[in-house]
Amino acid sequence: MTFALIKLSYNKIGENSVKGGICGAGFFFDNKTFVTAHHIFNTKKNVPNIGYKNCQYWLASRQGEIMEIRGAKIEDYSHIDTTVIRFPSSVTDRIVSIDTNLPKVGDKIYNQGFIPNMPQINAGWNADRLVIKSVNLTGSISDAKGTVRETNKATINSNDVNVADKILIITSYPGSVGMSGGPMLNCNDNVVGLMSIGLPADVPKKDFLGAIWIDEIIKTI
């Protein structure tokens, strides 16, 4: 249900050295509409790592599905920290169920995400691009669970996240970099939010986690 967003950068076809790894997470609303956090992937951020000339992006599921983000329409919604990737045709049947009811304080919730590392990737080259054959995400999973600590309408202006007067769902538990873009789910396994905020900003371990309420996203996109 939750996919890792993987970016690999390189200079030329056939070289042995590539750089990158997992950027964050995301999920599918339907079989061709993927959502993730704007601060980890958007039209302006779709560029190679510094010192490299080319890059490619893929989505990889824990069940072994792999799809390159190629030929898809990318839509930026920075004010809700959301990017939508619309594929021209069906790419998966691993679609989330959604609950637009705002969770209450104390409700059980959990998150699915990934550590931002380089997972075990089996890849090779064809005539014009890099092709990923398989990805093992076992050592990259970063999940957490607990309860809703609070829900508040908030405006956040930081270096990478700019949310304007939207409802955030705050967790009772800490997390880590790499959860961004992934789903917040309730006890019925329905998505209630998209992971967005993690504080402190400049450390890998986060004491404070917040998700954009999924109804805010649906009303916009």
pLDDT (tens digit per residue) in 158-170: 766 778 889 999 9
- Answer whether residue 151 is part of any domain: yes
The closest of 180, 134, 192 to 40, measured between CA atoms, is: 180
Domain check: are 54 and 156 in the same one?
A: no
> How many other CB atoms sit within 10 Å of the CB of residue 79?
15
Report the CATH number at residue 207: 2.40.10.10
Domain check: are 55 and 88 in the same one?
A: yes
Range 88-108 average pLDDT = 96
Distances (CA, A) of 80 to 31, 146, 201, 203: 22, 24, 18, 23
Domain check: are 128 and 208 in the same one?
A: no
Amino acid letter, residue 60: A
Task: Give residue 204's pLDDT band: very low, low, confident or very high (50, 70, 90).
Answer: low
Total tally of structural domains belonging to the chain: 2
* List of residues 6+ apart from 18 with CB closer than 8 A: 8, 9, 10, 123, 130
Domain check: are 75 and 127 in the same one?
A: yes
Domain check: are 181 and 127 in the same one?
A: no
- Answer whether residue 33 is part of any domain: yes
Domain check: are 122 and 38 in the same one?
A: yes
Domain check: are 65 and 42 in the same one?
A: yes
Domain check: are 187 and 123 in the same one?
A: no
Range 73-86 average pLDDT = 95
Task: Give residue 171's pLDDT band: very low, low, confident or very high (50, 70, 90).
Answer: very high
pLDDT (tens digit per residue) in 105-146: 999 999 999 998 999 999 999 999 999 999 999 999 999 999
Residue 58 has pLDDT above 70, yes or no: yes
- Answer whether residue 158 is part of any domain: yes
- Answer whether residue 104 is part of any domain: no
pLDDT (tens digit per residue) in 172-203: 988 777 789 999 999 999 999 999 987 666 66
Domain check: are 176 and 68 in the same one?
A: no
> Rounded to the nearest 5 degrees, what angle is found at the Cα of 18, between the Cα atoms of 36 and 15?
140
Give me the domain span that covers residue 157.
144-220
Domain check: are 20 and 85 in the same one?
A: yes
Domain check: are 66 and 155 in the same one?
A: no
pLDDT at 169: 95
pLDDT at 203: 64
- Answer whether residue 72 is part of any domain: yes
Domain boundary among 85, 106, 139: 139
pLDDT (tens digit per residue) in 4-44: 999 999 999 999 889 999 999 999 999 999 999 999 999 98
Residue 71 has pLDDT above 80, yes or no: yes
Range 37-62 average pLDDT = 92
Domain check: are 50 and 135 in the same one?
A: yes
